[in-house]
Chains A and B, each alone.
Chain A
């Protein structure tokens, strides 16, 4: 078994036009920068991207939007991106907005081998349109389906040659969930170590969920809202 590959271009080499891709990250925190850059280079089109956010104009998924590579975004919040807004209003881009917890839990369900989940989020709102509603203990819940995505691309802090992953601080967010949910999961990591160097008790994502791993480079890790206090 060899999961280690040379880099982002090799990692995404078989992602073709029309693919459905889960992309980890919250805002610009914990996004797979190297693979996004490789997807931009590869110029694949008509992608469906499932990601909590859509990046900003000149970073993250925003870079793919600039090249008109995205056909549909499935997200919980897509502000902070003028090009996104332009494409949406002109009808070039399709968007499906879903509650953030629903997004996370639909990933979880896929990774846990469960076809669907029930959540109260969206009951009585337009999110409920066309969905099965069931009552448990007097409270209404919507049935939401597990994601069925071709690829998941995630970013971790450390990983080993078995594909085991450790995330850092709030850059964990959707990454371990999407790693579980992809039919084929690609992980880019800041530091790749030989199997055995990570403490098994500290690993967040077992390598069984990860098919390809590489050590990324030149991480910008851009901060979206730099807020500080006076010393």
Chain B
């Protein structure tokens, strides 16, 4: 460690006192030249560097002495490789030999406080430097310090690049502070003991100590929140009295804070590191395709190959990235930063551009196919911002989303087709596309989602946001208390952009940022994200204490809910869903309601709501719509409950409407059957079609009529009474065109299903009515066959009937035909397998060896057989162009028609 320090210090110190250098350890010469001889090589863009010589000069004498003492380079090296870069440690290491050389750093700024508690040298450097230097330095410092940390270890061990060393070094002595307590003893390889001090805690709240010192007498009298308020006031006052260290404060402000402090490099991003890394990984996956290089060897994990999915261009499987999250978290910034960092030129399409399907053809496709924008060598990466606003909800193929998906997906297929055609091979898309949206559930994105790799951004922990805000405040010369910034972040719900805008607003008026100012500045801000479920939650539960505190409401204000809730409901704009949500939730609450008085009230309000909305829609009185939200608010006083379970939106209502729709369709098809029947038979069946009769009388009784207790026996040995029953059933079913359709269930069993499935109307709660026996497979099979025969017969009948004159001649034979046909059907409908299988009739028939018999074949064969017979049974007459005088009448043999 000593080497490390000396090196750093010497880097600056040598410029003045090169003589002092030689006595250090043997390793030193290896370092010194690099730092000394190549001063031009140093990154002069970091202003922090300019601080360094000065600081180093200040403290140069002492460390030099220490350096001379410690001649053990091996020891110091191990120390560094431990990675303990805490600001205090270097000092400690040197303090071992010469403790008295160090002065206490008594001046404690808030920044240094946080620095100590962090124990990270680098961050301390950042903040200190930021305070000392112009605003510009803060951001750049972050960049340089992060690498520099790793550099330190490397540089010491390998002895090659001490370039960045001076930077952390000049901080080290300053930061080292106060008490000299040796808490932890450690031993080096050489056996020498080293003492490592525990992190000091004493630097924390000096002001608090003072304050509590004053107030200690009546500590219990004053509530903690009042103490906190006083504290923040005191801090603000102290901050105000502090002389401003700003030098070039009043730089002209031509940019927004948001733009000025927009992260420009990957390391500057805040928020979930995982999100950033995922995004980067996805973009990097394109490297193989875009830059043609394979991925780094170190990442050769198994399963990686699957991601590429046998794509001949080595594109990742998900060709789109969908980045979603609430506004202001830096999605767009992330995409831009990652794209630039990965070596792409960004092409952005956002809501300001037209986003119809045509854009895909006109702008996106040419650019992506070309692979780069004009005048740029870098490959292009497409960012589609605010994609949830693009067209895409409909089924039309001309929407933006549809075209986009087509563009990415169907290329390879088209290409394959194209290969046959030769020259006009379409170029596939070989560039990554990042889509950004707020709501990943937006209807328009439904088609996109399956093809996209989805990353969701969520609100980062407030502490990070506050830290970043603080950095910016310091850089901008705003005096901000941490508490105020915390409040700001709380009100904005983590929306960094709105925080910065508020800060800028405040900055335009004063240099201080206090909680009160923030409250004033954000007064009237609308809640950012209102969804149906969030509204339901605020209806059914009071505001959380945290939120009340964030908004700084008094008890009285908290009690006033009407305007707050009506605004929320109005913002969502889906009153009907909210009403349904209220309806489905209110009875779930656990509150005691002995005589249902609250329930009654709630239902009263719902009734009024329904009354108003239906009046609004049916009469077109849309002026009523502004009153609608107020009809739902009463749920709040009636049912609010602290700590109740979150409101889950119940699907019951939706499911109900779905089933209802299916059932309506079935009724419609049944009505269609009735219409056909009444057309065919000339009866007054149509009178069943009217609405309540069909559902309440016809459907249930028809179900009973068509399920007689038939035994599953061979139709040849059936008893006469059952035979009449069967005939009757078949004729009814045939006249209504009800059929049994054969189907294979999921388990492979053959079943017969009624078509149209009117048997759903006797199924309630999934159970069948008790008095209706479930017809067995064999019975249904029997009936199905008969009905088919009957229907085929009817078709022939109709042909016959349409020729009245013919009927006159053959009327008698027609009548005699009916029974004969039935008999014929019976005979035919006795497949040999059935004879064996009479008893086990529930199961689909199997043959003697238990192998399933394909009944359809047999049935078809039977039917074909029957049809042949049927045609034979009937006399056929043809009329050729009857009544047309132009027809030539000549004798024709029947054979020429058949």
Are A and B a genuine interacting pair, yes or no?
Answer: no
List residues of chain A with CB under 8 Å of any chain B CB: none
